[in-house]
């Protein structure tokens, strides 16, 4: 496989393939070269496995407070409150203050 085909396999593995790349993949797979097709498929598989290992190694559990808030919201059958920061046009000249509004 050449560098362009390896890059294409990585794009497929990441799931970030666009229309143009999708057509390139289809051309590559339709080329009739079983060795190239096997190499490409293996590169996609190995890249996905490497990404999964990296994700597992760097994953962190969410804070317990978040879990408690979500469970409480589910129990109360309502969405968690959202804090939205509003800035008035007058605030842009430096004379005002930011205000937080809870939904």
Q: Is 85 strand, coil or helix?
A: strand
* Residue-level pLDDT at 26: 87
* Residue-level pLDDT at 53: 95
DSSP 84: E
Cα atoms in the Cβ-side hemisphere of radius 13 Å centred on 38: 3
Cα atoms in the Cβ-side hemisphere of radius 13 Å centred on 64: 0
The enclosing H or E element of 99 equals: strand 99-102
Q: What is the mean pLDDT of each run of 10 residues along the chain (103 residues)?
A: 89 88 86 88 95 92 86 76 55 50 47
Cα torsion angle, 74, 76, 79, 81, sign: negative
* Residue-level pLDDT at 51: 94
């Amino acid at each position: 496989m050449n560098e362009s085909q390896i890059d294409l396999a990585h794009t497929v593995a990441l799931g970030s393939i666009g229309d143009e790349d999708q057509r390139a993949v289809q051309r590559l797979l339709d080329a009739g070269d079983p060795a190239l097709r096997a190499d490409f498929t293996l590169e996609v598989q190995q890249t996905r496995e490497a990404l999964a290992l990296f994700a597992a190694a760097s994953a962190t559990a969410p804070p317990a407070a978040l879990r408690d808030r979500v469970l409480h919201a589910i129990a109360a059958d309502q969405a968690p409150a959202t804090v939205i920061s509003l800035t008035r046009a007058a605030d842009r000249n430096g004379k005002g203050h930011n205000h937080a509004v809870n939904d």
